Amino acid sequence: MNAVDNVDMAAKPGEFICLFGHSGSGKTTFLNLMAGIDLPTSGSIVVDGEPLGDMAEDDRIRLRRETIGMVHQTDFLIEEFTAAENVALPLEARGFPANDALAESAVLLERVGLEGYGGRLPRQLSGGQRQRVGIARALTGGRRILLADEPTGALDSKNAASIFGLLRDLCEEGALVIVASHDPMCREYATRLVEMLDGRVLGSAVLC
Ligand SMILES: Nc1ncnc2c1ncn2[C@@H]1O[C@H](COP(=O)(O)OP(=O)(O)O)[C@@H](O)[C@H]1O
Ligand SMILES: [Mg+2]
């Protein structure tokens, strides 16, 4: 059996797509294929006109650093680093001078509503704030495609609403946001709903 089979989806900047479906329906697999983390056994994933399957591994890694950011249910923040340092890390890993990386980190933290929180350690932040740090980190380097896998799975409904609201704002600023979520609240914020079942796209509806 294939985890994802016969799916066909096109997405463009400014969309907020909610991939919806039961556990095991293939949402995570589909996101990982879009990110170039997994490669399909057949078919192709094309990002900015480039089929991921034709790229060298190094180019796929570069795509994930420069174009596609990912957010998960668990934020994977480094507990010993401040929020600002966590966001700056991917830029420093790419060779940006520390000062430049921290300057961009400050801009992104402000963008996600965390101005003034850069000096805090992850444990000094709420679950929703930690997730915002993860979103800021996923956007470093001017990345315009944000893939989020159950980003509100560990949050209460108030924090979940604020995260979905932030993702909606980012999409209205021109990002492409694709969220895998079984949280029905996601549908209130998405511009398009794509329902999956048993690895297939069951249907797609434009919401607004
Ligand atoms: N690493 C793996 N190896 C084998 N099967 C997997 C693996 N990851 C997921 N699957 C299977 O692929 C299908 C889709 O899983 P997944 O993409 O995680 O769904 P969802 O995110 O919607 O819960 C499920 O049947 C799951 O059991
Ligand atoms: Mg999943």
- Mean per-residue pLDDT pooled into runs of 10, the chain (208 residues): 82 94 93 89 87 88 89 94 97 93 96 96 96 96 94 93 95 96 93 92 81
| pTM, entire model | 0.93
**What pLDDT score does 201 carry?**
87
Dihedral-angle region of residue 90 (phi above 0 means left; psi in -120 to 50 means alpha; beta otherwise): alpha
Q: Which residues surround ligand 2, an ion (CB under 5 A)?
A: 27-28
- Residue bearing the CA closest to ligand 1, atom 27: 24
Other CB atoms within 10 Å distance of the CB of residue 11: 16
Q: Which ligand is nearest to the CA of 199?
A: 1
Give the pair of three-digit tokens for residue 118. Answer: 């850069």
Q: Residue 196: enclosing H or E segment and its boundaries?
A: strand 192-197
